[in-house]
Amino acid sequence: MKNVFPSTHPLVRHKLTRLRDQNTEPKKFRELVRELAALLTYEATADLATQRVRIQTPMAETEGEDLQEKIGLIPILRAGLGMVEGVWELMPSAEVWHIGMYRDERTLKPVAYYNKLPVQPTVAVCLILDPMLATGGSAVATVDILKQWGVTKIKFVGLIAAPEGIQRLHSEHPDIPVHIAAIDERLNEHGYIVPGLGDAGDRLFGT
Ligand code: PRP
Ligand code: URA
C-alpha cells in the first residue's frame, strides 16, 4: 500500500520478537521500545530537508548540511511516551508536544484528554509516536488535531499495526506516511492486535 513502510531491518525484527515475548520484563520492554523507536525513526526521517552550511574542521573549511526544518515529536499518551527518549537522542533539538488520548473500552473510540498545543504551530514536521495502531482511531484523531494546528508534514511512527488500523489511517489521511515495525494478522473482538504484544501502556508502566 502506498505510504505504508513496514521495516525489513533484521535488527528491528529481532528486537520486535523480544518485545512481543510475554516473558520480557518491563525494564527490558522499555529499553526495546526506546531502541525500536530510534531505528524506525532513522528510516522515517530519510527524506528530511537539509540546508548547506560552511564549517571549519581542525584541518580546513568545508561544506556540510544541517536539518532545515523544526521537528516536533508527538507522543500519544501513555504508550507513546516510551518512544520519546530513543527518538530525542537522535534529534535533541526537537520539540515534544504530548497528546492525551485513550480508547473507550466499550466503543473503542478515542477520547482526547490532554492537548496543550499553542495556537500557532511552532514546528514544520511532526512525528506521531505510538507503539500500537489498532483500529486507527487514536492515530486519525491525532492527525486531525495536528492538521487543524496547521502542520502539513506529518508522519506516523509505530511498532505494531493491525491491517484495520493501517486501512483506516490510510483512507482518512492518505498523505500521512506510516512507518511501522510489523503489520500483524488482525484485531480480536476486544480491539487488541493479534498476535501483537498485549497492552503496550500496561507493559511499559507495569500497570
Ligand atoms: C493504546 C495505544 C494507542 C491506542 C491504539 O492506547 O497506545 O494509543 O491504544 O488503539 P486504536 O488504534 O484502536 O485507537 P490506550 O488507549 O490503551 O491508552 P494507554 O496508552 O494510556 O494505555
Ligand atoms: N492498544 C494496545 O496497547 N494493544 C493493542 O493490541 C491494541 C491497542
* Nearest partner of 42 among 155, 118, 190, judged by Cα: 155
Pocket test for ligand 2, best of 188, 193, 194, 204 (most atoms within 8 A of CB): 193
Under 8 Å between Cβ of 154 and 161: no
* Nearest partner of 71 among 140, 113, 123, 31, judged by Cα: 123
112-149, pLDDT tens digit by residue?
999 999 999 999 999 999 999 999 999 999 999 999 99
How buried is residue 133: exposed, middle or buried, by Cβ count under 10 Å (0-12/13-18/19+)?
buried
Where exactly are the structural domains of the chain? 4-45+70-205
Q: Which atom of ligand 2 is nearest to the CA of 194?
A: 6
* Residue 98, helix vs strand vs coil: coil
CA pair distance 132, 77, nearest whole angstrom: 11
CA pair distance 153, 32, nearest whole angstrom: 27
How would you classify the pairing of strands 99-103 and 110-115?
antiparallel
Q: What's the fold here for domain 4-45+70-205?
A: Rossmann fold (3.40.50)
Mean pLDDT of the chain: 97
76-120, pLDDT tens digit by residue?
999 999 999 999 999 999 999 999 999 999 999 999 999 999 999
Q: Where in the sequence numbering do the catalytic residues fall? A: 103, 107, 199, 202
22-67, pLDDT tens digit by residue?
999 999 999 999 999 999 999 999 999 999 999 999 999 999 999 9
Question: Residue 10, CB half-sphere, CA atoms under 13 Å: how many?
Answer: 0
Give 109 Cα–ligand 1 centroid separation in angstroms: 10
**Ligand in nearest proximity to the CA of 199:** 2
Give 196 Cα–ligand 1 centroid separation in angstroms: 13
Q: Residue 14: pLDDT above 90?
A: yes
Radius of gyration over alpha carbons of the chain, in Å? 17
Q: Residue 9: pLDDT above 90?
A: yes
Q: 166 is written with which cell numbers? A: 493501517
Three-class SS of 135-155: CCHHHHHHHHHHHHHCCCEEE
Give 18 Cα–ligand 2 centroid separation in angstroms: 17
Give CA 143 to chain center in angstroms. Answer: 12
pLDDT band at 1 (very low <50, low <70, confident <90, very high): confident
Give 201 Cα–ligand 2 centroid separation in angstroms: 8
Q: Is the CB of 191 under 6 A from ligand 1?
A: yes
Under 8 Å between Cβ of 103 and 142: no
CA pair distance 35, 30, nearest whole angstrom: 9
Instruction: Check: pTM over 0.85? Answer yes or no.
Output: yes
Q: 187 is written with which cell numbers? A: 484485531
CA pair distance 205, 26, nearest whole angstrom: 7
How buried is residue 3: exposed, middle or buried, by Cβ count under 10 Å (0-12/13-18/19+)?
middle
